[in-house]
Amino acid sequence: MTARPYNFAYLDEQTKRMIRRAILKAIAIPGYQVPFASREMPMPYGWGTGGVQVTAAIIGPDDVLKVIDQGADDTTNAVSIRAFFAKTADVATTTDTTQATIIQTRHRVPETPLSGEQILVYQVPIPEPLRFLEPRETETRTMHALAEYGVMHVKLYEDIARHGHIATTYAYPARVADRYIMDPSPIPKFDNPKLDDCPALQLFGAGREKRIYAIPPFTRVVSLDFEDHPFERTKFDAACEFCGATDSFLDEVVIDDRGGRMFVCSDTDYCEKRRAAKTKDVAQ
Amino acid sequence: MTAPLLSVRGLCKRYGAIDACRDISFALEEGEALAIVGESGSGKTTLLNLVAGALQADSGEVVYRMRDGAARALSSLSEAERRALMRTDWGFVHQDASRGLRMNVSAGGNIGERLMAIGDRHYGRIRAAALDWLARVEIAAQRVDDPPSTYSGGMRQRLQIARNLVTGPRLVFMDEPTGGLDVSVQARLLDLLRGLIADMGLAAIIVTHDLAVARLLSHRMLVMKQGEVIESGLTDRVLDDPQAPYTQLLVSSVLAA
Amino acid sequence: MSALVPNELLRVESLAKTFTLHLHDGALLSVVHGVSFSVMAGECVVLGGPSGVGKSSILKMVSGNYLAGEGRILVADGERVVDVARAAPREILDLRRRVVGSVSQFLRVIPRVAALDIVAAAAQEAGLDREGSRARAAALLARLRLPEALWRLPPATFSGGEQQRVNVARGFAGAHRLLVLDEPTASLDADNREAVIELIAERKAEGAGFLAIFHDEDVRARVADRIVDVSRFSDREAA
């Protein structure tokens, strides 16, 4: 075994403790954005430094890590981060959701339901759901402290006024444990229901903005809506071209220059497993 | 007779060596409009901000009779209570409408925000309330989805008024509400304010340097000079039979059209 | 507070007024002193005397528009008696709404408000509901012979006589027991003066009292029950 030039998982132990304290606070106050002293990481801001720091603080030698980017294990971001942890922590990695103990994700929640043995770590660009309407940090902190969330519904109102329906399709705001309103990161609103009452611990890390927040297991998470415009799960008109799934989030893929397109599962692991199961059926 | 709606006692504010407000006291009844007039530097805007709780006084007290009848000193309200008060039972119309509006949110959203803040969750009803108020402030209904950044100055001011009044406040603060507007636009706005104050039984504190605005809108008037109230009384009495030297000077300086 | 006798609507006692002209080095302008008279229900008391003697100032002190110098201005308000010379602004406003009405010599025009609305607002101030106010306003404007075409227009462009008729209607729109009139018919022609005279007579019969200034001797003769010559209280040289 080669001598590791890095501390386990790159960060020094004191930094990990600092991040773990922030995580504990976040778990104690579901949905509340805990400020933390985000470190310089060997990747630029905007490339998942928050998620990486959270993962680095919680990962141990026996963990199995999965990293996905827009649902796929094989895109640049996912591959790089997986390699980063393989190099600095020498942990086992996997693309199989059911085998992972820690799943770091950019902008998607896996289709496969998670268990209480797993932790989902989200990469978050802008943690503050009120930021678009209120640029002042001093003001947004006060609004969260006093639960002054009227302005969130103003945004949804604007959507309906402009588009006839709530047009927010990702980063859809949700209320956690009937108290704090959070931005679940730019996951599609299709994934919002998965946050509710989830057996796994969900952690959110924003490196550039220096915030960590959390949804403890089995916590109530309700997406915002109006009485006469209730939250609706996105429905696709098509099934996955590869595996035939009708219940997963589909990516639209352009296949030619004549407008031809097909729909494919965004969650590559989920899709592969379904295809494998089908092939097995056929083979039997 | 019932206790006053608002009771101001001994309000003081210093900025270094300058007394912006010196021992100011007055009472305001429900449904009464009070004008605070004075020239630049008289302290009238400071007084307005002190009473509204936007500025911290050095000494003195502001006591407000809440909807449940309890008289509360403003300084005893928690931050949450004060902010809730500002959003429901009080209104503040700024001279510059862009300070009192969300310039990039549609008119409907601006008006509806207070309703959403107190828990309204029915889009249709919120929109209907917004349209109702646009009509009351004489803004065409088809502008409901336009943001005030596309509005003229007079329209912005009228929108600001609608945004403040939608929750039926009992007390409205106005800081030079017609300042900077064209004369015909002013006339329309003043007429609107006059009507709304009467129809809604609003109490109002209106800071203005324009005596004609004071005469039109207010029942009573305070005249301020260098941080002090040098005369007060019924508006028509103060304007028609001014007692203090400074008031006589002010009244005689105004050109009639 | 001394009691007024039954049916005494107004008692002015030793009223005095001096203006201090601060813009003229504090020069004192003494107007009247020792003014005393009463107005009973059902009568019209006219203040007489030459121009500039202080008649208008007395009227304005009674309605609280001018500050009284010395003396008392006692107004009957049901069982109560209010001294206008000492009353708080709130009380005077209340009196003006219910008890003491006034008609000035000219209409103070505000833009955009229609004639009917001006009069209806006064009726509403005095306690009538919205429907009733508008009906009453229409009735008064009709009595005063203001053409119906003008009712929905703001009076800014009306003639002086038309504006004054709106002014009179506004003053009579409430149910005030005491009405203070400052030359209400000065700008009206004979027919319209007649209409105002009739209104006054009607109100007198209903128990209202009037304190008025009329320079027109004919109108005065028709309407006045008593004339109080102000020149005996006056400190002014006749203008």
CATH number for the domain that contains residue C7: 3.40.50.300
Q: What is the pLDDT along chain B (257 residues), one digit of tens a residue?
A: 578 999 999 999 999 989 899 999 999 999 999 999 998 889 999 999 999 998 999 999 999 999 999 999 999 999 889 989 998 999 999 999 999 999 999 999 999 999 999 989 999 999 999 999 999 999 999 999 999 999 999 999 999 999 999 999 999 999 999 988 888 888 889 989 998 998 899 999 999 999 999 999 999 999 999 999 999 999 999 999 999 999 999 999 887 65
Query: What per-residue string of b and e applies to B35-56 under the rule 16 or more CB within 10 Å gives b?
Result: bbbbeeebbbbbbbbbbbbebe
- Cβ of C65 within 8 Å of Cβ of B240? The answer is yes
Q: Which two tokens stand for residue C113?
A: 């408000």
Summarised one tens digit per residue, pLDDT across range C65-111 is: 999 999 999 999 988 999 999 999 999 999 999 999 999 988 888 88
Q: β-strand A92-93 against A221-223: which pairing, if any?
A: unpaired
Residue among B80, B102, B123 minimizing CB distance to A160:
B123
Could you list the residue range(s) of the whole structural domain that residue C91 is in? 1-99+224-239
B143 and A CB contact within 8 Å: no
Of all residues in chain A, the one with the smallest CA distance to B104 is A133
- By CB atoms closer than 10 A (0-12, 13-18, 19+), residue B242 is buried
The shares of helix, strand and coil residues in chain A, as percent rounded to the nearest 5, are 30, 20, 50
pLDDT at residue number B8: 97
Q: Is residue C182 part of a domain?
A: no
Contact flag C23-B252 (C-beta cutoff 8 Å):
yes
Does the beta carbon of B234 lie under 8 angstroms from any beta carbon of chain C?
A: yes
With an 8 Å Cβ cutoff, are C22 and B29 in contact?
no
Predicted confidence band at C239 (pLDDT cuts at 50, 70, 90)? Answer: very low
- Please answer yes or no on whether B80 and A133 come within 8 Å at the CB atom: no
Cα angle at C163 between C157 and C164, to 5 degrees?
Answer: 160
Report ipTM for this prediction: 0.92
CB B63 within 8 A of CB B75: no
Into how many domains does chain C fold? 1
Task: In chain A, count H helices and then E strands.
Answer: 7, 12
Per-residue pLDDT, B129: 97
Write a three-state SS string for B126-171: HHHHHHHHHHHCCCCHHHCCCCHHHCCHHHHHHHHHHHHHCCCCCE
CA torsion C43-C49-C51-C54 (nearest 10°) is -70
Helix B79-88 with B107-117: angle, nearest 10 deg:
130
Question: With an 8 Å Cβ cutoff, is B163 touching chain A?
Answer: no
Residue C40 lies in a domain: yes
Confidence at C2, pLDDT banded by 50, 70, 90:
low
Contacts of B113 in chain A (CB under 8 A): 150-151, 154
Residue among A53, A48, A97 nearest A77 (CA): A48
Chain C residue with the nearest C-alpha to that of B250? C23
**Considering the domain boundaries, does residue C64 fall inside one?**
yes
The residues of A assigned a catalytic role are 31, 240, 243, 265, 271
What local confidence, expressed as pLDDT, does residue A70 receive? 93
DSSP bridge partners of B175: B207
CB burial of residue A116 (10 Å; 0-12, 13-18, 19+): exposed
Nearest to B126 among A142, A151, A157 (CB): A157
**Residues C65, B236: C-beta atoms closer than 8 Å:** yes
CA distance C65 to chain B (A): 5
